[in-house]
Amino acid sequence: MSGPIYWDSSAVLSALLQDRYSKDAVARSTDGGLHLLSSLTWAETHAVLARIERERVLTRVLVNAAREALDTGPWRRVTISPEWKRMRALASRWPLRGSDLWHLASAMSLKDDLPELQLLSYDARLAAAAEGEGLAP
């Protein structure tokens, strides 16, 4: 069993839908550890699933199966608000989009109480920032 993992939406979507990271994401999701989702991850994941359904990239049945897997998966929902000063400091160190900066700052805030926390992301910039901040899985 691994330590606690904060999942961003790229990681969750790889666990739900087939892509080049799916094997790793599924393996991590079934390891029995503590898996955390923020409300932002939840919102981003549902927005992508809705877009996939609207654009008919996948059938409604497959999208609904992904939604069901999200609801019943190993993830625990956490309500977190990253520290404002921490976001400012991280923004000056890492070239991230706003939502990715929020994910990084949230994971750093959670790490204060969960020292073994890791941030799982398949976004190259966020994964690099997570590694630079000692959050890489």
Q: What is the pLDDT of residues 39-79, one digit of tens each?
A: 999 999 999 999 999 999 999 999 999 999 999 999 999 99
> 110 is written with which tokens?
């959670």
Q: How many Å is the Cα radius of gyration of the chain?
A: 15
Q: What is the pLDDT of residues 16-45, one digit of tens each?
A: 999 999 999 999 999 888 999 999 999 999
Positions of E strands within the chain: 5-7, 35-38, 75-78, 118-120
Q: Domains of the chain (ranges plus CATH)?
A: 4-121 (3.40.50.1010)
38: region left, alpha or beta (phi > 0 left; psi from -120 to 50 alpha): beta
> At which residue do the structure tokens 């706003």 appear?
98
